[in-house]
């Protein structure tokens, strides 16, 4: 995503790091760059607001609960299946070649 405006920090970089920003997991310098960008860029600020509300909702609805072992097993199986679908493995002699397919999700 890019709003087209000139910023010291690119919109896509800001949105990629919005969770670290929300969780206070980035250093002071990075946090200030992200904060400055959000102050200047209304599309990113809007997206940040959505992310912030989602995080609050998740914390309220899921806070303290742990996933059942059955759910974790199903999730692992789903992730494993997705990785296998996106990975091609070719074995030849003593070497193994692994190639992955990059999947990009685009917004409608």
Evaluate whether residue 5 is within a structural domain: no
Domain that holds residue 81: 69-100
> In the chain, helix, strand, coil percent, each to 5?
55, 10, 30
Q: Cβ neighbours of residue 36 under 8 Å, at least 6 residues apart?
A: 8, 9
The structure's pTM equals 0.43
Residue 74 pLDDT: 93
Span 37-79, pLDDT tens digits? 888 888 887 777 777 777 777 777 777 667 789 998 999 888 8
> Helix crossing, 28-40 with 42-62: angle to 10°?
120
Contact at 8 Å (CB) between 44 and 77? no
Does an H or E element contain 29, and which? helix 28-40
Residues 17 and 57 in one domain: yes
Total domains in the fold of the chain:
2
Q: Is residue 21 part of a domain?
A: yes
């Amino acid at each position: 995503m890019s709003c087209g405006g000139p910023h010291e920090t690119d919109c896509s970089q800001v949105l990629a790091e919005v969770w670290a920003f929300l969780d206070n997991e980035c250093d002071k310098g990075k946090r200030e760059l992200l904060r400055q960008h959000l102050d200047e860029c209304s599309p990113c600020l809007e997206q940040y607001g959505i992310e912030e509300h989602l995080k609050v909702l998740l914390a309220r609805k899921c806070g303290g609960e742990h996933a059942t072992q059955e759910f974790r097993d199903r999730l692992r199986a789903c992730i494993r299946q997705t990785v296998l679908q996106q990975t091609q493995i070719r074995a030849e002699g003593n070497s193994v070649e692994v190639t992955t397919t990059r999947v990009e999700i685009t917004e409608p």
